[in-house]
Structure 1
Amino acid sequence: MPSVSIVIPAFRNARFIDETVDSALAQTYEDLEVVIADHSSDDGTWELLQRYADHPRVRLLRTPAGGGAPANWNAVTHAATGTYLKLLCGDDLIAPTCVEKQVAALQAHPTAVAAAARRDLIDPAGDVLLAGRGIDPLSGLVPGPEAIRALVRAGTNLLGEPGCVLIRREVLERVGGWLAPYPYLIDQFTYMSVLEHGDLVALPETLASFRVSDTQWSVRLASEQSRQAAGTHRHFRERLPETVTRGDVALGNARARMTALMRRAAYVVWRKRMKASA
């Protein structure tokens, strides 16, 4: 069995899926498998994936329609066999040394259950919109409860999208896989649940790229995301009352509302930029 599973839940990613898969296969850490599950896409994604059908490190799956992102994320994760797991969405990218550096971090810190790195936000053409986002104020080995509190207080996902994070697969399975009581925060809620079982390693390097597009759900549904952030903060306040205070929750909720406003404003600017360059 490989040490690492990179799992890619694809859905209507025909425009970018080859870049995503190629970034996974270009890793300097070679003891890995790439498992791709296409969620019954109707845009040619499955057909494009056939170029990888004979690759010795790739497995292709097709999951039935329905259930949204949680269904496909968990289906592709359940097919993984590696000690460590990275979920990479079908239009995002990881740097060639991403897995190597994150595996080294987890091996150097046996108490850590997840390693996270910074990421760039890129547009559909791959141009950088914002560089080196995420992680701050976290650095190095961070106790799990402290990392959870920081996430609550931030009011946003400091650890970034799944491509930024490498998780011990056994712990992810222990918490029940990708958890979606608040679907727009499926990644953050799951990270926080995993961090109840161990520590975080926060790496300063930028090792992933998150692609922003006009169909990206967290941009279009910013207000709903801030509401679900408040629910997430409340959940972990109840889980960890000695660590996460009422003040932490109030601060995080206020910051989540502000982040929603900023995201909408940034989206308007981005749309104008895309139209101008078209």
Structure 2
Amino acid sequence: MTTSTTSTGSTAKPPRVSVVVPAYNNAEFIAATLESILAQDYDDFEVVVADHSSTDETAQVIARFAHDSRLRILAPTPRGGGAKANWTRVTANARGDLVKLVCGDDLIEPTALSEQVAAFDANPDAVLVACKRRLIDANGEVVLESRGLQGINGVLPGRRAVRATVLAGTNIFGEPACVLMKRDVLEQVGGWDSEFPYLIDQMSYSKVMLQGSMVALDRTLASFRISATQWSVRLVREQASQAAGYHRALQARNPGLLSATDVMIGNARAHATAYLRRLAYIWLRRRM
């Protein structure tokens, strides 16, 4: 059952963009997330939000926005299923040609939709547009500015972009708030892919980009909120292991995309990046 503040009948014209928000235990931040989306200077969009049966006040905070006709609040997503369950649910309820997923503690800039839609309009063959982002802490203070894309810029073949992220050993396209995708292409490739759960966004982007070109915008249009939770050595190893699995799967399923050397370099850099990320989180915890 879906709670909606606006008509979604068959005669209603679908919006160009759907911003979908899977929320889970985000009571402290979800209001800021929704406010950043609703503050866009672009008008032709809807917001679809669902709480994943949170144990805090997330659902109550979301309910405060029910008066906004651009917002559709879904009934809570049942517990279980990991991120994929709620990501898939909100995306399945999207009606726009283009879809952007914004997690319940992240932010987007007021021009994020207008700039990314303009990139699609200028490049009809593109299947995905990505931008840079800043990293912020729990208080909204900037920790790192202008991160992501690792030097790629403008329009490039999706295969080249996928190879670039493998060689970097990290997700150069950023979290979902950085990305706007063609919804039908995401559906065609099977939706959000959680074969490697820590890389659900990166693997899904790759499957989409292999269907066409992408546009990299050298603009910071999103903010990713990082936690002061200390990463364990076990978690670091698991993430690096999943990255290596992702690289091998890409190589096996897409002949000619990656060489053995590409995979070796990507795996080594993924391992190093995971440990650097753990050190950064330890520093953040002490900073807080």
**Where on the TM-score scale, by shorter chain, does this alignment land: which range?**
over 0.9
Unaligned runs of 5+ in 2: 1-13
Residues 17-96 of structure 1 correspond to what in structure 2 (within 5 A)?
Answer: 17-61=30-74, 62-96=76-110
Structure 1 vs Structure 2: percent identity of aligned residues?
A: 55
- 1:60 Cα shift? 0.5
Distance 2:43 2:208 in 1: 26
What does residue 127 of structure 2 align with? 113
What does residue 267 of structure 1 align with? 281
What does residue 249 of structure 1 align with? 263
Q: TM-score, normalised by structure 1?
A: 0.96
Q: TM-score, normalised by structure 2?
A: 0.93
What does residue 152 of structure 2 align with? 138
Distance 1:98 1:89 in 2: 15
Pick the structure with more helix per residue. 1
What does residue 205 of structure 2 align with? 191
- 1:54 Cα shift? 2.1
Greater displacement, 89-98 / 60-69: 60-69
Distance 2:126 2:168 in 1: 21
Residues 218, 225 of structure 1: 8 Å contact kept: no
What does residue 22 of structure 2 align with? 9
**1:11-70, Cα deviation, whole Å (9 max, x unpaired):** 000000000000010011110000001001110100111111121000111211110100
- 1:219 Cα shift? 10
Distance 2:49 2:185 in 1: 21
Unaligned runs of 5+ in 1: none
The number of residue pairs the alignment matches comes to 274
Distance 2:201 2:249 in 1: 15
Q: What is the root-mean-square deviation in Å for CA atoms of aligned residues? A: 1.5
**1:228–1:218 Cα change, 3 Å:** farther
Q: Give the partner amino acid of 2:51.
A: D
- 1:260 Cα shift? 1.0
SS at match of 1:55: coil
Distance 1:179 1:26 in 2: 30
Residues 214-233 of structure 1 correspond to what in structure 2 (within 5 A)?
Answer: 214-215=228-229, 221-233=235-247
**1:196-225, Cα deviation, whole Å (9 max, x unpaired):** 111110000000000001359899833211
What does residue 178 of structure 2 align with? 164
Matched, 1:213 2:219: no
SS at match of 1:221: helix
Q: Give the partner amino acid of 1:189.
A: M
Distance 2:59 2:247 in 1: 38
Residues 244, 267 of structure 2: 8 Å contact kept: yes
- 1:241 Cα shift? 2.6
SS at match of 1:52: coil
**1:85–1:59 Cα change, 3 Å:** same
- 1:3 Cα shift? 0.3
Residues 113, 168 of structure 1: 8 Å contact kept: yes
Q: Give the partner amino acid of 2:18.
A: S
SS at match of 1:142: strand
What does residue 140 of structure 2 align with? 126
